[in-house]
Amino acid sequence: MGKAIGIDLGTTNSCAAIVENGKPRVITYKGGQSTIPSVFAIDDKGERLVGHDAKKQAQLNPTNTVAAAKRLIGRNYHSKTIEKVKQVFTYELVEGESSEVLIKVQNQIFTLEQISSAILRKIREVAEESLGAEVDQAVITVPAYFNDRQRQAVRAAGKLAGLKVLRVLNEPTAAALAYGLGKNLNQRIAVYDLGGGTFDISVIDIKERIFEVIATGGDTFLGGVDFDDRIMQWVLETFQKNHGIDLSYDRVAIQRIRDAAEVAKIELSSVMRTRLSIPHIAKNEAGVGLDIDVELSREKLEELCGDLVERTIQTVERIFREAGTTRGQIDEVLLVGGQSRMPMVQRRITEFMGKSPSKGVHPDEAVGIGAAIMANSLAAVQSNDDVTLLDVLPMPIGINKVDGSMHVLFQKNQPLPDYKTRTLTTSKDNQRSIMLRIYQGEATLCADNELLGTFVFNNIRAAPKGKVQIEVTFHIDSEGILNLTARDKQTGQTVESMLKLGKTGDEKGKKEEPEAPVAPPPPPVAFTMPQSTMAAALGSGLDGARTEPPESEPAAGATHEVRRPETTKTETRGETTKTERSPPPADVAKTESVKAPAATPVASPAAKPEEGGSLWAKVGAWFKGIFGGG
């Protein structure tokens, strides 16, 4: 078996780390470089380029160079986020058959999973070259605020890259692990993670070897590239004012300005003034070449980007309230991510917290180091020491009610793992299918949240309406990935299902599925998940079902049981960890009463029965069909 590494898959740059002889380190290559640009391209000769090679040619080939793909992964093409992105990205986004985002490069169509897998494969190759050994396992980090669909997509990308993904780990949790493991601390810390494309803030309690996330939040569309864009817009406006030429439609010019803006921003973290000099950016009416040559001060940069920094502070305030904590109760603040190096960010955090941030972690390496510690633990043999890692759900998961609002099944900051069951009943005689849609997000209306997908339960046995009861178990694993299983309560047989991606409620002009009348509620039935089912529910996230919310309001009568999460134990030797799960104690089980959803008949061809009472083989096949083989 090959080596296991930790991978920080970033929006702008990625890195890998490994634990050797009990000590974690960042993997370097080619003259000591430790990061790889998260860039993919195809040149005019048809050659695929990744990393530094792709970034170097971006200015001359902007329409066929893909950067910041992490911002797009797992998103619906019709979401408001993608509408905004299409206006600023230099490469072309197209809609897939199931409303997923695809990218067109040199007239070839790629999924976001394929783009990300190319970057992961490059990281793997670099690691193997540096280590002189095969690498076939990894822990991959994601923003804490990634939803289920995005997490599933990252797992799929890892598999396409030939990696066994041991775990998808939240970036702030990884940073906390790098900071606190082996120090026997008893602290409450805040991890402020401002990277190239995303922002996360997490409140985490460290009690010796227990790492417990209390609350988390963030913005998956706020990061260093937004700071770059502010500089770019200022340069464009200045050039148009001076020369009367609008460069915003020139993709080559845009790429050149964006690259120069990034360099200037980085320089202003150590100097007070710098120049942006870009020769021959355009020609005037007389055919004379025009240059960009402007001075940018740190003061001007802060004026351009101050509101972005304040957005992060507002999010920090909100998450502190959700965590029930005050600034004075935070022992240390960790700054993680390249954009956290900005002096204004450090100054505002110091002003807000009343103390300077910790110097205990490297902002560019902490996440990768934490991922490596976890990767080593999951691939290592058992030891006598243990570390408990307890994470939470970043956003609520729920289903659609009749009025279009979301009925929440799992609350935000719900400790993980967790599961609930729900009983669906037929609303028509001899109904053979039921459709269930699932959303994730903090908005009241489903239309403003992310549609994770749609489950269609097929080949239901023929019976009068209300006589068939389908028991659906929703399980969220320790990675925050949702899985579904379903069975006929009367017969105990597994119900066949089909997973499909659906269109979000904020699509314009798209026809929604008709709603079915609410079925008469079945009599209350308490459900206890057997241990064998619970064990099965803890399988691979890649093969786990991704679900989509229903369209009807839950009706009274059905019951589902809520169990508090299992303990996720991680055994360690030195600074390594080994994760094990123990079943939830019976004395913490709780039963709630909710309405059963209206059944929506859906015509569907007969499906082949599932093996072993599991839906996951089918979902795995679905992933393979969409994203390609492993």
385-442 residue pLDDT tens: 456 889 999 999 999 888 999 999 999 999 999 999 999 899 999 999 988 889 999 9
Rg of the chain, C-alpha, whole Å: 25
The reported pLDDT for the residue numbered 564 is: 36
The reported pLDDT for the residue numbered 386 is: 54
Nearest to 458 by CA among 422, 497, 487, 484: 497
10 Å Cβ neighbour count for 38? 29
Catalytic residue among 100, 113, 171, 391: 171
Catalytic residue among 193, 365, 471, 496: 193
Q: Can 193 be counted among the known catalytic residues?
A: yes
* Partners of 571 in beta bridges: 386, 578
CA distance 6 to 26: 9
Q: Can 467 be counted among the known catalytic residues?
A: no
| Distances from the Cα of 471 to the Cα of 33, 133, 525, angstroms | 53, 47, 10
- Name the 3-class secondary structure at 55: helix
∠ CA 563-569-570, rounded to 5°: 150
Contact 182, 570 (CB under 8 A): no
Contact 618, 612 (CB under 8 A): no
Which residues of the chain carry a pLDDT beneath 70?
Answer: 381-387, 496-630
Sign of CA dihedral 603, 608, 612, 618: negative
Q: What are the structural domain ranges in the chain?
A: 3-222+312-379, 224-303, 397-627
| Distances from the Cα of 452 to the Cα of 65, 75, 561, angstroms | 28, 9, 23
C-alpha 186: how far from chain center: 29
Catalytic residue among 8, 100, 226, 228: 8
CATH of 3-222+312-379, one of 3.40.190.10, 3.30.1490.100, 3.30.420.40, 3.20.20.70: 3.30.420.40
Contact 212, 390 (CB under 8 A): yes
459, 464, 467, 469 alpha-carbon torsion, rounded to 10°: 20
Q: Is 194 exposed, middle or buried (0-12, 13-18, 19+ CB in 10 A)?
A: buried
The one-letter code for the residue type at 374 is M
Q: Can 291 be counted among the known catalytic residues?
A: no
Looking up tokens 């960009």 gives 292
State pLDDT tens for residues 555-588.
333 323 333 333 333 333 333 333 333 333 333 3
CATH assignment, 397-627: 2.60.34.10
The reported pLDDT for the residue numbered 579 is: 38
CATH assignment, 224-303: 3.90.640.10
Catalytic residue among 55, 70, 578, 595: 70
The reported pLDDT for the residue numbered 379 is: 87
How does strand 434-440 pair with strand 3-8? unpaired
The one-letter code for the residue type at 197 is G
Nearest to 191 by CA among 208, 207, 205, 181: 205
Token code pair at residue 327: 């600034």
10 Å Cβ neighbour count for 62? 22
Token code pair at residue 333: 């603040």
| Distances from the Cα of 402 to the Cα of 62, 314, 444, 509, 549, angstroms | 46, 33, 13, 20, 12
How does strand 3-8 pair with strand 135-142? parallel
The reported pLDDT for the residue numbered 80 is: 80
pTM over 0.85: no
| Exposure b/e, 150-182, CB count within 10 A at least 16 = b | bbbbbbbbbbbbebbbbbbbbbbbbbbbbbbbb
Q: Can 171 be counted among the known catalytic residues?
A: yes
| Distances from the Cα of 612 to the Cα of 403, 420, 540, angstroms | 38, 21, 15
CA distance 231 to 531: 56
